[in-house]
Amino acid sequence: MKTINRYAHYLFTLPALLLYAVFFLYPMVNGFLYSLSDWDGLSKTSHFIGVDNYVRLAQDDRILNSLGFTFKYAFGLIVLTVVLAVLIAVLLNRVRRFQSFYRTTYFIPAVLSMITVGLIFNQLFSQALPAFGKAIGSDVLSRNLLSNPDWAFFGLLFVSLWQGLAIPTLLFLAALQSVPKDLIEAASLDGATPWQRFRSVVIPFLIPTLNIVVILSAKSGLTAFDYIMAMTGGGPGRKTESVGLLVYNFAFQEFKFSYASSLAIILFVIIAIVSIVQIRSMSRLEVNA
């Protein structure tokens, strides 16, 4: 009887563990094994070729091009998400009238599916914006920005921010409300300016949330796929081919399935490193309340 009690809590983790194993560990191990073969996704047979795929990855121009785009995109997404989400949260926190109306409005994009948002904006970029551009006589705006090599990047970034800001804003809003009122009051009695109050009192309370937000947006930036698939398909040319899309293209368009698996494993390693570095460096700044 006693033994059951002692180990019971392990039993409760079993469902989650099982789900994790079936949907995460098994595919990952399997994917790694595929990455060591030459399977094309079509044949019934494949051969073990060791690390050949990884060697080829290192020499492929498209990988570099795609990593360059992905990092630029992820960086832009992280910085803008944090800055804009904090800004919006601070403003929403100050609103006194129609509070819940504003909060709901800013949250609405989060309940839509990414592909839906991508397709809607695809239409806006290809039909509505050019019509507007023609009306104001702008040459750049009267063409589809998503096919303009200089603007496609910003078009994608804009759409991911439009939708991606909702949840970070909500998280920051919650964090702002956890800042003790008495601390702020004390600071203002000591003569701190509003900016000093924000910097020295509010921000330390935002750090744990900031941590989460940076990790979440780094992850969504590095694995960007849905919007790109729906809006540019990686184009013009290969200008917006993110690593996530490249994995998909290798596997399902070009029939290099195991090559795609090895790229996916590399992507996993990159995200793991980024997350570890990020958690380590940020946790030092947290407030120990």
Partner 1 sequence: MKNKKLWIISVLALVLVVAGCGGKSSGGNAGEAQGANQGAGKEEQVTIEIFNQKSEVKDYLNQIIQNFETENPNIKVNQVQVPDSRKVLYNRLASNDAPDIMSIFPNESDFRTQAGSDFFMDLTGSDVLANINPQFLEGVKVDGKDYSAPLTMNAYGIFYNAAKFNELGLKVPTTWAELEQTAAAIKEKGSIPFATSFKASWSVGHLTEALLTNAVGYETADKFFQDPAAKADSDPSIQKLLAQMDFIGANSQLDAAGADYPDAVNLFATGQALMLPQGIWAVPVIEQAGMEDEYKMFPIPNDSGNGVVVGGIDYALAISANTKHPEEAQKFVKFMTEQQTAQFLADNEKSPSTITGIKADAPQTEDVTKLLSEEGRFYPWLHFNWKAGLDSSWGTETSAYLILNDKNALLKWINQEFGK
- Interface contacts to partner 1, rule CB under 8 A: 1, 4-5, 8, 11-12, 14-15, 18-19, 22, 40-45, 125-126, 130, 142-149, 233-239, 252-256
Residue 239: CA atoms inside 13 Å, Cβ hemisphere, count? 17
> Closest distance between partner 1 and the C-beta of residue 20, in Å?
11
2 CB-side CA count, 13 A: 0
Assess contact for 222 and 243: CB atoms under 8 A.
Answer: yes
Nearer to partner 1, 103 or 143 (CB): 143
Which lies closer to partner 1 via its Cβ, residue 19 or residue 287?
A: 19
Kindly tell me which of 61 and 190 has the beta carbon lying closer to partner 1. 61
The CB-of-272 to partner 1 minimum distance in angstroms stands at: 27
Cβ closest to partner 1, residue 1 vs residue 58: 1
CB atoms closer than 10 angstroms to residue 167: 18
Q: How far is the CB of 130 from partner 1 (least distance, A)?
A: 7
Cross-strand partners of 19: none
Give me the least distance between CB of 152 and partner 1, in Å please.
10
Shortest distance (Å) from residue 164 CB to partner 1: 24
* Residue with Cβ nearer partner 1 (81 or 242): 242
- 156 touches 220 (CB < 8 A): no
214 membership: H or E segment, kind and range:
helix 203-222
Q: In whole angstroms, how far apart are CA 172 and each of 137, 221, 269?
A: 40, 19, 29
